[in-house]
Amino acid sequence: MSPELAVVAGGTGRARLSVVPDRPLRIADVALFYGGRSGGIRTYLDAKAEHAARTGEIEHHVLVPGARERHADGRHELPSVRVVAANGYRLPLGAGALTRTLRELRPDVVLLHDPFWWPADVAACAREIGARTVAVHHGTSSLEAAALPGPSRLYAPLLRTWLRRAARHVDAVMSNVDTMADCGRLATMPLRLGVHDAFRPRSDVRRGDHVLYVGRLSREKGVLELLDAAARSADPWPLRLVGSGPLEETLRTRAERLGLGARISFRPHTRDPERLARRYAAARCVVMPGEHETFGLVALEAAACGAPVAACSTAPALHAIGDLGHGFVPGDPDDLDRAIVAARAAPADPAAAATLAWRHRWDRVFRAELASLRDLLG
pLDDT at 9 over 80: no
pLDDT computed for residue 142 by the predictor: 83
Is the same domain home to 173 and 220?
no
pLDDT at 34 over 70: yes
Is the same domain home to 216 and 240?
yes
pLDDT at 3 over 80: no
pLDDT computed for residue 256 by the predictor: 96
Share of the chain above pLDDT 70, in %: 92
In this structure, is residue 206 part of a structural domain? no
pLDDT at 316 over 80: yes
Confidence grade of residue 30 (pLDDT, cut at 50, 70, 90): very high
pLDDT computed for residue 15 by the predictor: 46
Is the same domain home to 155 and 235?
no
In this structure, is residue 32 part of a structural domain? yes
pLDDT in tens, 176-226: 889 999 999 999 999 999 999 999 999 999 999 999 999 999 999 999 999
In this structure, is residue 202 part of a structural domain? no
What is the mean predicted confidence (pLDDT) over 119-146?
Answer: 90
Which structural domain range is residue 232 located in? 211-359
pLDDT computed for residue 10 by the predictor: 41
Q: Give the phi and the psi of residue 325 in degrees, each rounded to 5.
A: -115, 155
Q: Which residue has the higher pLDDT, 292 or 259?
A: 259
pLDDT computed for residue 26 by the predictor: 98
What is the mean predicted confidence (pLDDT) over 50-60?
Answer: 97
pLDDT computed for residue 150 by the predictor: 75
Confidence grade of residue 19 (pLDDT, cut at 50, 70, 90): low
> Strand locations in the chain, DSSP E?
5-9, 15-19, 25-30, 58-66, 70-72, 75-82, 90-92, 109-112, 132-136, 172-175, 189-190, 211-214, 239-242, 264-267, 285-288, 309-312, 325-328
Is the same domain home to 190 and 59?
yes
Q: How far apart are CA 286 and CA 213, in angstroms?
A: 6
pLDDT computed for residue 325 by the predictor: 98
Q: How far apart are CA 175 and CA 137, in angstroms?
A: 5
Q: Single out the residue of 121, 55, 81, 140 nearest to residue 364, CA to CA.
A: 55
CB 308 within 8 A of CB 346: yes
Confidence grade of residue 86 (pLDDT, cut at 50, 70, 90): low
In this structure, is residue 205 part of a structural domain? no
* Domain total in the chain: 2
Is the same domain home to 222 and 235?
yes
What is the mean predicted confidence (pLDDT) over 229-251?
Answer: 94
pLDDT at 91 over 60: yes
Is the same domain home to 35 and 163?
yes
| Helix or strand (DSSP H, E) at 336 | helix 333-345
In this structure, is residue 261 part of a structural domain? yes
What is the mean predicted confidence (pLDDT) over 106-126?
Answer: 95
Confidence grade of residue 12 (pLDDT, cut at 50, 70, 90): very low
pLDDT at 14 over 90: no
What is the mean predicted confidence (pLDDT) over 349-369?
Answer: 97
Mean pLDDT score across all residues of the chain: 90
pLDDT at 164 over 80: yes
In this structure, is residue 204 part of a structural domain? no
pLDDT in tens, 262-284: 999 999 988 899 999 999 999 99
What is the mean predicted confidence (pLDDT) over 331-340?
Answer: 94
Is the same domain home to 103 and 130?
yes
Is the same domain home to 165 and 222?
no
Q: How many Cβ atoms sit within 10 Å of the Cβ of residue 237?
A: 16
Share of the chain above pLDDT 90, in %: 73
Is the same domain home to 341 and 367?
no
What is the mean predicted confidence (pLDDT) over 227-251?
Answer: 94
CATH code (residue 274):
3.40.50.2000
In this structure, is residue 114 part of a structural domain? yes
Q: Which residue has the higher pLDDT, 378 or 18?
A: 378
Is the same domain home to 184 and 284?
no
In this structure, is residue 146 part of a structural domain? yes
Is the same domain home to 178 and 222?
no
Confidence grade of residue 72 (pLDDT, cut at 50, 70, 90): very high
Burial class of 104 by CB neighbour count within 10 A (0 to 12, 13 to 18, 19+)? exposed
Is the same domain home to 132 and 221?
no
Q: Give the length of the chain.
A: 378
